[in-house]
Amino acid sequence: MELLNFIFRMGVLFAIYGFIWGIFEFILVIASASKQKTLSEEYVIKGIKYVFLADVTFLFCLDLKDGEISYYQLALAALVLTMYFVGKLQSNQQQARMFGMMGNGLPMAFKNFNLKVEIGVIALSVLCFVGFIFFKDLAINPISDWFHDSIISIEKTPIIGFIFKVIGFFFLITMLFKMLNGIMFLLSGGPFVRANAGYQTNTKKEDDFDDYEEIN
């Protein structure tokens, strides 16, 4: 039960952090007069976002133990955080592929997608999380403290807090399915649930031809 509650709280944390960061990005877009971001700008901003999320997650773990470090919870938090980042990467990759069919109509946000840089940003964020274990004082700074306090305040707000708790519940369900898939893959070599199973259809008909099929 403690494990489920921990993952649930992590889901609420991620949802509220994403909401706050979304406001910052909206203000940034207005301030830049809707100027399209370059690849470097896109990933510098994302890197800052992910590093501070790792920082706030670390502070969240300290909250649960009144400032003491619990290596079990930190290991679990690192796992959930990594799964969250990987989920974001997969989502961005799928969206980039889908919008790639639009050619020049592809939004700039997806044109700036770079798999290697994305993985590098995730690796940096996870390393920072691990580094905070050995350099605890670096995790406690005015910016991360502000994010932490704001998240707690929003979570305690009656209506808005309830909405984010609903999001946290669905995050919990998603994480449980991902963990179950991982366990089933290790045991049987195949996932318990395939995310795209319902979308895979055999659309090729008898009258269709392959690109290199000879026509007599």
In a domain, 202, yes or no: no
Tens digit of each residue's pLDDT (9 = 90 or more) over 46-69 = 999 999 999 999 999 887 666 677
- Give whole-number Cα distances, 172 to 9, 13, 37, 90, 161, in Å: 9, 12, 33, 18, 16
In a domain, 209, yes or no: no
pTM: 0.79
In a domain, 141, yes or no: yes
Query: Which pLDDT does position 196 carry in this prediction?
Result: 45
Q: Amino acid identity of 121?
A: V
In a domain, 117, yes or no: yes
Task: Report how far residue 89's alpha carbon sits from residue 111's, in angstroms, rounded to the nearest whole number.
Answer: 14
Q: What percent of the chain has pLDDT over 90?
A: 40
Query: Which pLDDT does position 93 carry in this prediction?
Result: 83
Q: Average of pLDDT values for 95-105?
A: 68
- Give whole-number Cα distances, 17 to 47, 59, 97, 152, 184, in Å: 14, 13, 27, 10, 31
The answer to whether the beta carbons of residues 92 and 113 sit under 8 Å apart is: yes
Number of domains forming the structure of the chain: 1
In a domain, 127, yes or no: yes
In a domain, 211, yes or no: no
φ, ψ of residue 194 in degrees (nearest 5): -95, 125
Predicted confidence band at 122 (pLDDT cuts at 50, 70, 90)?
very high
Q: Which domain holds residue 187?
A: 2-192
In a domain, 197, yes or no: no
Identify which of 167, 155, 182, 165 has the alpha carbon closest to the alpha carbon of residue 82: 182
Tokens of 176: 């449980």
